[in-house]
A and B are shown apart, each in its own frame.
Chain A
């Protein structure tokens, strides 16, 4: 039978005496050492720069807060060079311009799959040249519902919808400007806002890695900002 535990620890007087004092001091010292040398704080800043506290994680899955209805437009920091004071219309882009002796259609009259068809030459490089029927989805903004702009395009006019058509849609002193995506792909038009951190591409600092910044509308932030003009990410 195992003796009770206290048999292993003979009863001694509870007071610290000269015989048990060194052991008690050693134990206390060990406790102090352990308490004062915890694992390194993983969130201690690497540098000595004093930083404001980082955002705390939410206790539930973080969700971007439902954005309040932001007022559209307003006076930007300065007027942009490209904006839309008045509507424009598209002529019959590329009508009758198909290149001879290229595979595909030869005349606009062959393009009957939809309305407003025309035969144009497309392609080049990896994409072989061909004559292709394209169909204009619009000729004027009024063809694009209540909010779209008709983008005049050789490959077929199309409607794009941002948040404005004209400068007057952006409030007093406001401007409605086009955006451009990867490799100059035309994007939609958006109002400039007082929160813009840029108005022109020239407001954006160059990037050190050879890529370049452009000033574009960040629809999730709700204002124009310099963004690296990256093409598809991967």
Chain B
């Protein structure tokens, strides 16, 4: 009997000790060692500024660990079109309505259900304050000023993804969300994830009395990495992020899985809040899951003759980097692409390489290349364009038309 009892106990303990491993989403939420390991594995160049800051502060276990920061999930309300149409425009310091709420979620449910995570992420995309933006209030005096600076206007979603977020004194301050930069009007709809290629924050800051240098950013470009403001990049199209191998134009982060994306988002929000607070990790993970859900479907093989001819040309001139089925690939050395090397050499995010963006949906992007220096697919292949990413430049007129038709179909 004693032996039987001991045997049964042994069986029970052994089974418990060898229970199935939790999934990576749960480990991201619960396991600091795992988070740290994922961060370290995802950073392509540990010596650049972006990496050094995160290695010093993310799940570091030391006194500067960002995990010690208070969690921020403030009450927010979207700025509405009705407010914009008021006589004096949006009141930037109005009291937050009693009905305003923070992002509500059930921690147990988001662990069980990927759909619950996705829905949380969708709400966060439009509601979680990524960066306070009180100084932008003058841009919201009227529809015309909002449109001048490229803030989109949508009857359902509000104005430019801007929210009023509760402040310490019970008032509110305007803040940008993910949707401010990564959503834009496409015809009558708001294309979520598509870069806002009309947003001109550089012009706004210069018009408000800041340095006039930022006028050089132009629409659809922002400097997100330096305080000098001299490294503007194209606002990224987030729709194909699920297919990418790396994040940032400079390929700073290897996107190993949804957790590396969640960590990237989490640290962005921490930096956006001046390293004074951090988001609930469920929100960062929800945003990652949501962004991955925006992925367009992989295209079917071409059937039209012109596109089939174009596909053949694509295979010769483009597919080495933009490989099917997602038309992206591993990063490429900056000298191989020949575009402005500024980013690849940046002390903040540089890796010596550039990311290969996915060409899915490229026809709907306003500007191309990491510096938004080319406005459209036809100009990209124009024979008169002599420098930077000149692949396919030597094609004759008919070949060029076939290739462009195929690329447009992706």
Indicate which residue in B72, B131, B132, B348 contacts A210 across the interface (CB closer than 8 Å).
B348
User: Which A residue sits closest to B120, measured CB to CB?
Assistant: A61
The reply to whether B274 and A70 contact each other, CB–CB distance below 8 Å, is no
Cβ of A18 within 8 Å of any chain B Cβ, yes or no, is: no
The reply to whether A234 and B32 contact each other, CB–CB distance below 8 Å, is no
User: Which B residue sits closest to A191, measured CB to CB?
Assistant: B169
Given contacts A27-B7, A51-B63, A209-B49, contact A62 B212 (CB under 8 A): no
The reply to whether B166 and A67 contact each other, CB–CB distance below 8 Å, is yes
The reply to whether B169 and A222 contact each other, CB–CB distance below 8 Å, is yes
How many Å lie between the Cα of A54 and that of B1 in the bound state? 46
Given contacts A61-B106, A232-B223, contact A227 B274 (CB under 8 A): yes
Indicate which residue in A16, A34, A45, A127 contacts B216 across the interface (CB closer than 8 Å).
A127
0/1 interface trace, chain B 87-127, chain A, CB 8 Å (1 if under): 00001110000000011111100000000000000000000
Cβ of B284 within 8 Å of any chain A Cβ, yes or no, is: no
Indicate which residue in B13, B170, B225 contacts A31 across the interface (CB closer than 8 Å).
B13
CB-CB < 8 A to B68: which residues of A? Answer: 54-55
The reply to whether A218 and B276 contact each other, CB–CB distance below 8 Å, is yes
Cβ of A60 within 8 Å of any chain B Cβ, yes or no, is: yes
Give the contact stretch, choosing among B135-143, B314-322, B393-401. B135-143
The reply to whether B141 and A63 contact each other, CB–CB distance below 8 Å, is no
Contact size class for A? 35 or more
Give the contact stretch, choosing among A95-103, A165-173, A176-184. A176-184
User: Which B residue sits closest to A211, measured CB to CB?
Assistant: B227
Indicate which residue in B34, B107, B167 contacts A219 across the interface (CB closer than 8 Å).
B167
The reply to whether B348 and A209 contact each other, CB–CB distance below 8 Å, is yes
User: Which A residue sits closest to B269, measured CB to CB?
Assistant: A233
The reply to whether A61 and B223 contact each other, CB–CB distance below 8 Å, is no
Give the contact stretch, choosing among B78-86, B199-207, B295-303, B381-389. B199-207
How many Å lie between the Cα of A93 and that of B203 in the bound state? 19
0/1 interface trace, chain A 195-210, chain B, CB 8 Å (1 if under): 0000000000000111
Cβ of A1 within 8 Å of any chain B Cβ, yes or no, is: no
The reply to whether A220 and B209 contact each other, CB–CB distance below 8 Å, is no
The reply to whether A182 and B272 contact each other, CB–CB distance below 8 Å, is no
Cβ of A23 within 8 Å of any chain B Cβ, yes or no, is: yes
User: Which A residue sits closest to B181, measured CB to CB?
Assistant: A234
CB-CB < 8 A to A67: which residues of B? Answer: 166-170
How many Å lie between the Cα of A55 and that of B93 in the bound state? 31
Chain B's nearest CB lies how many Å from the CB of A150?
A: 12
The reply to whether B271 and A210 contact each other, CB–CB distance below 8 Å, is no
Chain B's nearest CB lies how many Å from the CB of A87?
A: 18
The reply to whether A42 and B348 contact each other, CB–CB distance below 8 Å, is no
Indicate which residue in B61, B214, B215 contacts A45 across the interface (CB closer than 8 Å).
B61
How many Å lie between the Cα of A156 and that of B10 in the bound state? 79
Give the contact stretch, choosing among A77-85, A104-112, A118-126. A118-126
The reply to whether B218 and A127 contact each other, CB–CB distance below 8 Å, is yes
Which B residues are within 8 Å of any A CB, using their own CB? 1-4, 6-7, 9-10, 13-14, 17, 27, 30-34, 36, 49, 52-53, 60-63, 67-68, 70-75, 91-93, 102-107, 130-132, 134-135, 137-138, 141, 165-171, 173, 176, 181, 201-203, 205-218, 222-229, 233, 235-236, 268, 271-277, 280, 282, 347-348
Question: Can you offer 27 A-B residue contacts whose CB atoms are under 8 A?
Answer: A14-B2, A27-B6, A42-B31, A43-B31, A47-B61, A49-B61, A51-B61, A57-B107, A61-B280, A61-B282, A63-B73, A64-B73, A122-B207, A124-B215, A125-B215, A151-B209, A155-B209, A159-B138, A161-B137, A179-B135, A185-B209, A210-B228, A221-B168, A222-B167, A228-B275, A234-B225, A234-B233
